[in-house]
Homo-oligomer: A and B are copies of this chain.
C-alpha cells in the first residue's frame, strides 16, 4: 500500500502538490485507509508522473489534463496531441526569443557599467529619455 509520502518520492510531485491536484480534480481521488490516510495504486503513480512530465515540458495544467485524457482515448488522439505540442512549442519559442532579447539588452547594460561612460550608464538607461 503506497502512502502519500512514497507516492511523492515515486512521482517527484511534492505531497502538498499531490493534495492540491486532488482537491482541484486534476488527478483522480485517492483511496483512503480506515484512519483516513490516502493510498495510491501503481496506476495513480503513473498518472502523477504523466502530469509531472507534462508540467516539466512546460505544458499548463489544463493542457496536461487534456493530454492525459488523450492518452486514455481509443485512438486518433495523436493528431490532437501534435497540435497541442506545436502550439506549446510555438509559445515556448516566442518566450525564448523574448528572453534572448532581454538577455542581450541586460548584458550590454551590465557591460557598460565597467566602462564608466557616465556616472552610471545603467541608471541612465532606466531614466527617462
Footprint of B on A, CB under 8 Å?
Answer: 45-46, 49-50, 53-54, 57-58, 67, 70-71, 75, 77-78, 81-82, 85-86, 88-89, 92-93, 95-96, 99-100, 102-103, 105-107, 109-110, 113-114, 119-120, 122-123, 125-128
Q: A50-B126, A78-B120, A92-B106 are in contact. Are A113 and B99 (CB under 8 A)?
A: no
11 contacts between A and B (CB under 8 A): A50-B127, A57-B105, A71-B123, A78-B123, A81-B113, A82-B122, A89-B110, A93-B103, A96-B100, A96-B103, A99-B99
| Closest chain B CB from A109 CB (angstroms) | 6
Contacts of A82 in B (CB 8 A): 110, 113-114, 122
Question: 20 other contacts beyond A67-B126, A99-B99, with CB at 8 A cut-off?
Answer: A46-B127, A46-B128, A53-B125, A57-B102, A58-B106, A78-B119, A78-B120, A78-B122, A81-B113, A81-B120, A81-B122, A82-B114, A86-B110, A89-B103, A92-B99, A92-B102, A92-B106, A93-B103, A96-B96, A96-B103
